[in-house]
Structure 1
């Protein structure tokens, strides 16, 4: 097995095994005792993990994955917010979300309804969303084992779908659907511009993602970064030095492991003899949603608090990708692989496969830093944990002293992998920090406004 993990077949088998174990765990974790058991907060992670599995199967691109997580988590949050003073509805807070209508009947369990809202939203939005039906059935069986009867489960499901349907309307208005009507993106001519790379020469990913409505940013270019170091073929130029830094890097074992662990390329091609084999992997957003679940479980968060954290992290992913993609297709900078092959070494091949979109900013650096800023706010700057997210993909585990530690490692992995220049990494981190801090400040202002209204009442 190489550093990128197991083959696609082995990964699929591993995924099925994990899901099978999870279903059994769901059913037997609590047996009927005559009393209703509260839903465990970790059930939120069961949904996002199932979503991740479907995204791996569907080869969902990174920005789109962030969109799926955000709306699914928002659906669950809004169910709980219908009866919460501590975590008010995001209506009137998020861009374009004016109001959420509450059902005129009660749910036997708002956490149960929140899970059904998440699965309904994910099922409606994801290409293989119909696969969520099996998960819903196994989850309903677990609810039965926790003391809920069939009628209560049905009511909870209807309640969740009522909220989910409103979030789906909200999602349908974010302009993502309009992207399909835009003209096909064509790479720009001229030196220093991005161009598709081997071996797949894939078409550019989401060139119009900056037109999608953000959740909390005022616009996609709210935090417009400094322009990248300008391209130059002059050996004495700053760009040439950046290019040489990538080319001349001699990695040790630890650095190679870091690059592989944070690869997060949804679809890569590997050469096997005379064949090209597709290898599916988790996306950057999926990795950070997994970390969020790990943190929530380790901290022992109650269901409502865990739902809030997941929602804010997911919306941070979405806004982080929008902000980053806005710059990617504006600066349109050439990838190291293309430049190095032309100006230094025609046989150069990076350790990681070059993603199919322009180089500046680094997407992983941006959204990893955004996620780390948000998670550090909720769990503290010295929250240590073991990252087991990539274990099911054959990449083992890694220990981190903090979320910032993890985000810094994710960022530098792009240099180790040979897919980014250093200025795209450091400025991506700057961008991610600004997005994360903005989201937290907006959320605090929302809470302060709600608390002021309660006091005045």
Structure 2
């Protein structure tokens, strides 16, 4: 009898082991979702949608949305890190790395989904229904608020909670909590006021607000967007001014005179391809701003290279940290120098002189007085409402391009987009359909930067210094990234 029981137990054990082996073998032969099909990529698409919706609801606010995106992907990374062999979270503390046998794709998907869901609810709070519906599509309960550090649901919720708590009081004034604020979110608590008014330019070296059309026959001059953003604490940089560039060229310098003339000549001779480039990089309704634009480029890399969830978690984390800290560094320079834009500089240099220029919607290139010059933009958004030096587009593009080059180990990109010239600026005077080609990350950044000069929003000094600042930020954040993925340089 005893021998029979032993044999029976052995047979059952063998059968169970065989079943487990077959189950593991079946799981290992099921191909992991790649590119656009992996859950990290899908959450990045939700983040892009939420960013576009934010623009519709609150007008473009690139600094604010760059912080949202950065912190969302930090939350995702921190949750994922507990199911990786060596990665170190940024803000999540007191949650142990899970045992190796729990490092499954399913657990990672659940953990990052709860982290993304909670973080997006906090930052893009007007889209909670969108996020809840996506959770349900994934078969996850949006009402699960578990903080159990041994489950993927709990770890995801804890990761987002840690990021949200850590970033309160970081200088962004998201909750109207900074000293000098009035309790209103993103209130100008530093008390910045431009030296120049929209009607009088007292110091032509300094930023001057400009009138926009309100679309109803009236006009208004927007105030400076988030003039306190230089006070926001970076995630990876040592300080906002770590790579602050030297000063821009001033009135009276030969360099500035040449660069203002260059802006006039470029804008008066825009080709259809250049118009399309200006509009593509400027973006329009439902804009995702510069951080979102480069997140979309990163998504293209994910699809091109068949990324796994692990790869996208890491790439998006690095990419969006560069954008977030890049905006902080850019705003440090902008607010420190408080520098004029071409809109005012052309008026200063060419006030009563006759020049060839784009005359506005429906007018084409005409001869006007320099004091009437304007950027190649719709009346309702003529020029970014904040100081010029350095260019934010150039900073983020230079930084994110460098980040993608470092992360992929190659500068090759190979993206392209087909556009109709003038579709965002002159809808009644459309040009040809053109194809913009972006062969490398570096070239794409350079095209983004020069588009701002072509459009009349920046002089070359803003662009060149911005590109270099962005690259400096990317290289510094790379060290931070390598440390947190357990590959310290």
Contact kept in structure 1, 2:243 and 2:472, CA below 8 Å:
yes
When normalised by structure 1's length, the TM-score is 0.77
- 2:136 alignment partner, one of 130, 133, 140: 140
Residue 207 (structure 1) aligned with residue 227 (structure 2): yes
Paired position in structure 1 for 2:388: 359
Residue 170 (structure 1) aligned with residue 173 (structure 2): no
Q: Secondary structure at the match of 1:429?
A: helix
Paired position in structure 2 for 1:187: 194
Q: How does 1:271-420 map to 2 (within 5 A)?
A: 279-344=285-350, 345-352=370-377, 353-387=382-416, 398-420=436-458
Q: Distance in 2 between matches of 1:179 and 1:290?
A: 36
Q: Distance in 2 between matches of 1:151 and 1:420?
A: 47
Instruction: Tell me how many residue pairs correspond in the alignment.
Output: 388
Q: Secondary structure at the match of 1:90?
A: coil
Q: Secondary structure at the match of 2:129?
A: helix
- 1:264 alignment partner, one of 279, 283, 286: 283
RMSD: 3.2
Q: Distance in 1 between matches of 2:195 and 2:143?
A: 59
Residue 237 (structure 1) aligned with residue 254 (structure 2): yes
Shift of 1:280: 4.8
Distance verdict in 2 for CA 1:62–1:157, change over 3 Å: same
Q: Secondary structure at the match of 2:396?
A: helix
Range with bigger deviation, 358-367 or 189-198: 189-198
Q: Secondary structure at the match of 2:223?
A: coil
Contact kept in structure 1, 2:76 and 2:116, CA below 8 Å:
yes
Paired position in structure 1 for 2:473: 435
Question: Residues 103-145 of structure 1: CA distance to partner in whole angstroms, max 9, x if unpaired?
Answer: 999895222320221121111123xx2423333323422x24x
- 1:196 alignment partner, one of 209, 223, 230: 209
Range with bigger deviation, 334-343 or 413-422: 334-343
Paired position in structure 2 for 1:77: 77
Q: Distance in 1 between matches of 2:371 and 2:143?
A: 67
Q: Quick check: which has more Rg, 1 or 2?
A: 2
Q: Distance in 1 between matches of 2:385 and 2:141?
A: 50
Shift of 1:420: 0.4
Q: Distance in 1 between matches of 2:460 and 2:419?
A: 25
Contact kept in structure 2, 1:205 and 1:357, CA below 8 Å:
yes
Shift of 1:349: 1.4
Residue 255 (structure 1) aligned with residue 274 (structure 2): yes
Contact kept in structure 2, 1:384 and 1:401, CA below 8 Å:
yes
Contact kept in structure 2, 1:295 and 1:385, CA below 8 Å:
no
Distance verdict in 2 for CA 1:323–1:152, change over 3 Å: closer
Q: Distance in 1 between matches of 2:141 and 2:171?
A: 41
Contact kept in structure 2, 1:47 and 1:118, CA below 8 Å:
no
Contact kept in structure 2, 1:100 and 1:166, CA below 8 Å:
no
Shift of 1:450: 6.5
Contact kept in structure 1, 2:73 and 2:317, CA below 8 Å:
yes
Q: Distance in 2 between matches of 1:347 and 1:204?
A: 22
Shift of 1:203: 0.5
Higher relative contact order (CA 8 A, sep 6+): 1
Distance verdict in 2 for CA 1:445–1:72, change over 3 Å: closer
Distance verdict in 2 for CA 1:157–1:51, change over 3 Å: farther
Contact kept in structure 1, 2:121 and 2:131, CA below 8 Å:
no
Q: Secondary structure at the match of 1:216?
A: coil
Contact kept in structure 1, 2:83 and 2:98, CA below 8 Å:
no
When normalised by structure 2's length, the TM-score is 0.72
Distance verdict in 2 for CA 1:159–1:350, change over 3 Å: same
Q: Distance in 1 between matches of 2:141 and 2:384?
A: 49
Q: Secondary structure at the match of 1:401?
A: strand
* 5+ long unaligned stretches in structure 1: 1-34, 92-96, 266-278, 452-457
Q: Distance in 1 between matches of 2:416 and 2:63?
A: 22
Question: Residues 389-428 of structure 1: CA distance to partner in whole angstroms, max 9, x if unpaired?
Answer: 999x977974311111111110000110001011111111
Residue 113 (structure 1) aligned with residue 111 (structure 2): yes
